Chains A and B, each alone.
Chain A
């Protein structure tokens, strides 16, 4: 008991015994029929030991029921999302089954509820932890919540199935599907259009002009965070203002900065626009062309790099989604 007070130990497991359900398996029903046959034989032939065998087998089945439910009960569960994926591919969630008891758990099937996909089989050692990946199709851009998961197991004797459902509290971001045969990148626009003039912050960057907003990168000073953008967009993702000295701006354009304009693609359907932009983001990243993104009210200043790409794709993924879905 003493070490329960140590703070860094995780809280008590929450897969309580009352959440675990038990029912006989097919083999369990056959076993019930066997018990009936044994009992009838014992009655008909008046076999004292026949009764003993019948009751012993029945008691073993009862013990099996208890042990099957104990195999699941008391398990702690946690889920972590996998990397963001593109729509049309498969999203991965990692489920962690954590065993804080001294008895190992065996042969636990982890399957997605209401799905016929082959379940994963997990064994968890005493005081151990097992991670199991579940893969879900991600058809749409936006947030993909983890599916409900069904844990079940017929260990130890296979006569009973214990199961419980679990809704992991996690989600994966799904980027728009990049257009397959996207046209080549729009060639560098002459100049990087000025972002709408924002009042110059009274800082040492006074000589510089606000060039736009990009995803926060480690090392960005705190006072450059684009708080309004952050507040408008969502609370989790941080943007920082990017400044450019007025003199450098044309240089950047000369280096071949491109600005990907959502508004410029008005001929396409809304989703197709996002698809094309996603494809372009990937193309530009591959080509090493600094690129920016203008998406409705959001402007991401041109840059390069994985985090920039992710910020752009993220903006595309969450574009125009209902507020609660985007925030959820």
Chain B
């Protein structure tokens, strides 16, 4: 294989290098493009590779044009449109693959490489992690190697030498780009339009909840945010990251109140009393494409986001004005002891008591019977305890694969399947509460998070998505009740994996191996934690680069004390002087290496008393030295040295021979003394 590659003609090798670069550009896109498109692109690239290796002609335009039209039509059919970001990326990917079949000259190679650069950037719509960056760097290197190879004249050195030249260019380019990255002022985008569709279509909590919605999230290990605490991290079962409050129920789906156009009227005032010690932390939230930022129950203050103000609804949801399309970071302080809206008028309670007429009749009847009537009616707190007790006692199961439910989902769940995930428990609990006349609502968000050992922070993933409920008690306000905890207490005390019954499936096996079940210590888990910290640092330093943050960093430089600044300048000056000296030294050394060796030889002989006369050539000198006094071996070495030197200097040897000769001469030099 290596032999075959080495013997490949230059133009073929160049094309194969470019095809490799294109494959590397397209590979990450395969995760997001329709499968047919990935397959088509791979097939086209492969076709070109076969054409190249076999030395056949590239297909005619008459073949390519219908293919291109077919591709456009297929993209249109897949996405329903050809406009917009994702169809655009799909079209570009198709174009790149087709362009590979229509490359004739140097100009086409430029077009191909430039197109690849654009597609490389399009990768970042989906992933901007460390691995994406490393992949980008590798891809750019292969791309530039392809471009570089096409620029050589008649003579093209081996790939290793080409990469060496590229390495010297990158040694200049990488520090330069790092400097530009840090110092070039950022523009607060977007340049036009209001809401870029960037970062859309990510998984995450939505404004509605139907059975199974959160269970699907639970399979995703994507990080949602990281919280770094400056105070102690609250206990795991207190870590309820509030997201959306769902109040409207149509019998199957929970939605946000007012989401269907009915504005929540008259309850815009937030009546809240906070007690106890606040915890302070900083949240680094990944781009979600949604208008929601998360905080622990209940947020006392949340730092303003630059250029994207938020509003807090009366249900304590924090909503930003614009979707969050880049990593954001904000400081929050929260208090776990609070009294929220302790005084609600009956009119204000009414929306939280509504149930659709006629749905889930069995559950409603069961709840009413449980609460009782008149004087025997249970107090709200006792009613809650009774329902939770029922959840605990009855054979309820906690599972990610609950059976499908029909029209009266809550009935079927409570009295039939009795197997479900948090949204089943929270949803049915709220239905039961409302049936008993206790105002209640569903809250979705995240629960828990994985502690990163050393830096006092937590990483919350999509798999930590959770739903719980809140009930309103007179004089006490909204109180959090987590019915899932009654069934699977481990879910709230540890995390999801601890709560799920162990099942020998490939998924759970993998998760165990990866240390996802936070309880398992071990090398893998430790590595995983290190990795999470690296990712956190990465997102805070590389991705979270808003103009404000950049300015703050530069302002921070201004505040550095003068002595430190002087030391830094001195170190910089020293480093640049050293770099300059290195360059000067290298330039000074740039003579013919044979002349250098000859000069050393002459000096050596001069020390022995046989200095070379200015007019003497190597042959004359050799004759004179041969007559001089020296050991037998030295004489042989001297004669050989001068013979080789003369042959290399005045003959025309190939570079390889010259290299060998130089080594030989260096060896001889030590023997000539």
CB-contacts of A1-46 with B (<8 A) = 1-4, 6-7, 9, 27, 30-31, 34, 37-38, 40-46
How extensive is the interface on chain B, given as a class? 35 or more
**Per-position 1/0 for A77-88, Cβ under 8 A of B:** 000000000000
The answer to whether A49 touches B110, judged by C-beta atoms less than 8 angstroms apart, is no
Q: Cβ of A102 < 8 Å from any Cβ of B?
A: yes
The answer to whether A53 touches B326, judged by C-beta atoms less than 8 angstroms apart, is no
Q: Cβ of B4 < 8 Å from any Cβ of A?
A: no
Closest A residue to B325 by beta carbon equals A46
- Contact residue among B150, B174, B199 (Cβ-Cβ distance under 8 Å from A56): B174
Q: Cβ of A123 < 8 Å from any Cβ of B?
A: yes
Q: Cβ of B511 < 8 Å from any Cβ of A?
A: no
The answer to whether A102 touches B325, judged by C-beta atoms less than 8 angstroms apart, is no
**Per-position 1/0 for B153-179, Cβ under 8 A of A:** 111010000000110111011101100
Q: A3-B591, A45-B196 are in contact. Are A53 and B110 (CB under 8 A)?
A: no
Residues of A within 8 A of B527 (CB): none
**Per-position 1/0 for B530-574, Cβ under 8 A of A:** 000000000000111110000000000000000000000000000
Q: Cβ of B47 < 8 Å from any Cβ of A?
A: no
Q: Cβ of A58 < 8 Å from any Cβ of B?
A: yes
CB-contacts of B99-155 with A (<8 A) = 106-107, 110, 114, 117-118, 120-122, 124-125, 128, 132-133, 136, 140, 144, 147-148, 150-155
The answer to whether A53 touches B120, judged by C-beta atoms less than 8 angstroms apart, is yes
Chief secondary structure at chain A's binding surface: helix
Q: A6-B595, A47-B124, A59-B177 are in contact. Are A38 and B118 (CB under 8 A)?
A: yes
Q: A41-B121, A59-B180, A157-B147 are in contact. Are A49 and B152 (CB under 8 A)?
A: no
**Complex Cα gap A34–B166 (Å):** 21
Residues of B within 8 A of A64 (CB): 169
Closest B residue to A33 by beta carbon equals B114
Closest B residue to A108 by beta carbon equals B153
**Per-position 1/0 for B448-468, Cβ under 8 A of A:** 000000000000000000000
**Complex Cα gap A58–B600 (Å):** 45
Residues of A within 8 A of B595 (CB): 3, 6, 9
Closest A residue to B181 by beta carbon equals A55
Nearest CB in chain B: distance from A321 CB, A: 40
The answer to whether B191 touches A44, judged by C-beta atoms less than 8 angstroms apart, is yes
Residues of A within 8 A of B545 (CB): 48, 51
The answer to whether B172 touches A63, judged by C-beta atoms less than 8 angstroms apart, is yes
The answer to whether A60 touches B173, judged by C-beta atoms less than 8 angstroms apart, is yes
Residues of A within 8 A of B186 (CB): 43, 51
Nearest CB in chain B: distance from A13 CB, A: 11
The answer to whether B155 touches A106, judged by C-beta atoms less than 8 angstroms apart, is yes
Nearest CB in chain B: distance from A320 CB, A: 45
Q: A100-B591, A106-B155, A155-B152 are in contact. Are A45 and B189 (CB under 8 A)?
A: yes
Nearest CB in chain A: distance from B588 CB, A: 5
Nearest CB in chain B: distance from A313 CB, A: 34
Closest A residue to B595 by beta carbon equals A3
**Per-position 1/0 for B318-348, Cβ under 8 A of A:** 0000000111000000000000000000000
Q: A53-B136, A155-B151 are in contact. Are A47 and B114 (CB under 8 A)?
A: no
Nearest CB in chain B: distance from A24 CB, A: 13
Q: Cβ of A121 < 8 Å from any Cβ of B?
A: yes
**Per-position 1/0 for A95-107, Cβ under 8 A of B:** 0000011101011
Residues of B within 8 A of A101 (CB): 587, 590
The answer to whether A48 touches B588, judged by C-beta atoms less than 8 angstroms apart, is no
Q: Cβ of A66 < 8 Å from any Cβ of B?
A: yes
The answer to whether A52 touches B542, judged by C-beta atoms less than 8 angstroms apart, is yes
CB-contacts of B458-482 with A (<8 A) = none
**Considering residues B121, B148, B326, which has the most beta carbons from chain A within 10 angstroms of its beta carbon?**
B121
**Complex Cα gap A246–B172 (Å):** 82
**Complex Cα gap A37–B148 (Å):** 23
Residues of B within 8 A of A55 (CB): 177, 180-181, 184
**Complex Cα gap A47–B198 (Å):** 9
Q: Cβ of A67 < 8 Å from any Cβ of B?
A: yes
Q: Cβ of B261 < 8 Å from any Cβ of A?
A: no
**Complex Cα gap A151–B428 (Å):** 82
The answer to whether B593 touches A49, judged by C-beta atoms less than 8 angstroms apart, is no
Residues of B within 8 A of A230 (CB): none
Q: Cβ of A298 < 8 Å from any Cβ of B?
A: no
The answer to whether A44 touches B190, judged by C-beta atoms less than 8 angstroms apart, is yes
**Complex Cα gap A56–B138 (Å):** 13
Q: Cβ of A57 < 8 Å from any Cβ of B?
A: yes
Q: A55-B177, A55-B181 are in contact. Are A49 and B136 (CB under 8 A)?
A: yes
**Complex Cα gap A106–B158 (Å):** 13
Q: A53-B117, A59-B180, A63-B172 are in contact. Are A158 and B132 (CB under 8 A)?
A: no
The answer to whether B151 touches A52, judged by C-beta atoms less than 8 angstroms apart, is no
- Contact residue among A6, A9, A66, A106 (Cβ-Cβ distance under 8 Å from B152): A106
**Complex Cα gap A66–B170 (Å):** 12
Q: Cβ of B396 < 8 Å from any Cβ of A?
A: no
Nearest CB in chain A: distance from B536 CB, A: 14
Residues of A within 8 A of B117 (CB): 34, 38, 53, 57
- Contact residue among A31, A54, A154 (Cβ-Cβ distance under 8 Å from B114): A31
Nearest CB in chain B: distance from A102 CB, A: 5
- Contact residue among A50, A51, A63, A125 (Cβ-Cβ distance under 8 Å from B655): A125
Q: Cβ of A237 < 8 Å from any Cβ of B?
A: no
The answer to whether A34 touches B177, judged by C-beta atoms less than 8 angstroms apart, is no
CB-contacts of B345-395 with A (<8 A) = none
Q: Cβ of A136 < 8 Å from any Cβ of B?
A: no
14 contacts between A and B (CB under 8 A): A2-B603, A3-B596, A4-B591, A43-B186, A43-B190, A44-B192, A44-B193, A45-B124, A48-B543, A51-B545, A53-B140, A107-B151, A122-B153, A154-B151
9 shortest interchain CB distances as A-B pairs: A107-B153, A46-B326, A48-B543, A45-B198, A3-B599, A59-B173, A59-B177, A59-B176, A43-B189
